[in-house]
Amino acid sequence: MSETVNRGLEGITVAETRLSDIDGESGALTIGGFPVVELATNATYEESVFLLFEDRLPTAAELAGFRADLASRREIPEEVRAVLRRAAAEDRPAMDALRMGLAASTLGTAESASEEAARRVVAVVPTIVATYWRYRRGNEPVPPREDLGHAANYLYMLTGTEPDEAAVRGLETYLNTVVDHGVNASTFTARTVVSTQSDLISAATAAVGSLKGPLHGGAPGPVLDMLRTVHERGDPDAYVREKLDAGERLMGFGHRVYRVRDPRAAVLSSAADRLYQGRDDDFFEAVRAFETVAVDALAARGGDRRLDTNVEFYTAALLEGVGIPMELFTTTFAVSRVAGWMAHCLEQRADNRLIRPVSRYVGETDRTWTPVDER
């Protein structure tokens, strides 16, 4: 047995995958064979999901059929709505509500084949999130519409109003950009669960639990708080100096994998730029100015590695512009990433081996038992 301990499994290759590839040194991300910028800016979300599931883009007829099939699986039964109603009444966080709703979402369904179950999971997550949010706001849920695409229907269920094209395209770009990203924590969790020959709902529910942690999916909310503060104060230089002088971290900069600017930040930056064009609002101008100031300040402070803009920075700006409530940023991440989880689960099942790392014992040895009345 190796004496080397790779904390956090860093540097350990645990799977072969065709789904996505990360080059952290050059700042490149490939999803299903496409550079992330090409996929994110051209595809519908349904095309991205089909690509991950089938390893190719669909024909027009296949896309129409796939879109219709996903849309037909969006409904949730009253029992799930009751769980979400209770979660909202108790003021539970959105990720808790998603976990509870997703775990119960197989009620009333009979999917048995793996890909049918995977499609159901992808289709139902937006409905769960939107239903919870409507209850949380004191409103009745808005039923899903089968004539709307995945992104448009999500926005429609949140607001009850059919969204404009700019908001739909902004959200769809986001969903495509973050749909898969190597064997991250939640994806590894999902693969580990199905490696035991468990079911896809269990894998997705476990992945949601992993995504809930602030070290994985929880950063865009704090980023938006930061950006709003900078915008209101109007002095990004002073804000950056205050934070760095106090030894505090600037949210939205640096990444575990990338040694340069996160390529997803570039995609979402362009998407946000298009979304905010023509608006009588200088918020996005403040975001741009803050990024420049922060990157320069972080570089000037030195350190072992450069801290460039990551995906959370422009996720916050883009989702704010789309109109997604900050409380739903992480669940909206799940609306996208669930397709990656399911694709990895199907891939794991196709060539399965139980995921079973080892640990190195560092505890006591040769202890002798003492009866309780003698301790």
Distance CA 220, CA 211 (A): 13
The secondary structure of 187-219 as a DSSP string is: HHHHHHHHHTT--HHHHHHHHHHHHTSTTTT--
Is the pLDDT assigned to residue 331 strictly greater than 90?
A: yes
Quick: pLDDT tens for 116-175: 999 999 999 999 999 999 999 999 999 999 999 999 999 999 999 999 999 999 999 999
User: Catalytic: which of 47, 172, 291, 312?
Assistant: 312
Q: What is the pLDDT of residue 12?
A: 82
Neighbours of 266 (CB within 10 A): 18
- Residue among 150, 181, 231, 255 flagged as catalytic: 255
Provide the percentage of residues in the chain whose pLDDT is more than 70: 98
Domain annotation for the chain: domains and CATH numbers: 20-212+326-350 (1.10.580.10), 220-322 (1.10.230.10)
What separation in angstroms does the CA of 33 have from each of 17, 19, 57? 11, 8, 11
pLDDT at 304 over 90: no
Q: Whole-angstrom Cα distance, residue 55 to residue 330?
A: 27
User: How many residues are there in the chain?
Assistant: 375
Mean pLDDT of 305-322: 91
Quickly count: other Cβ atoms within 10 Å of residue 370's Cβ: 8
Verify whether residue 231 is a known catalytic residue: no
pLDDT tier at 332, thresholds 50, 70, 90:
very high
**Annotation says 47 is catalytic:** no
Q: What pLDDT, in 10s, does the model give residues 96-123?
A: 999 999 999 988 777 666 889 999 999 9
Q: Positive or negative CA dihedral for 163, 166, 168, 170?
A: negative
Secondary structure (3-state) at 115: helix
pTM, full prediction: 0.93
Question: Are 337 and 95 contacting, i.e. CB atoms less than 8 angstroms apart?
Answer: no
- pLDDT of 305 strictly over 70: no
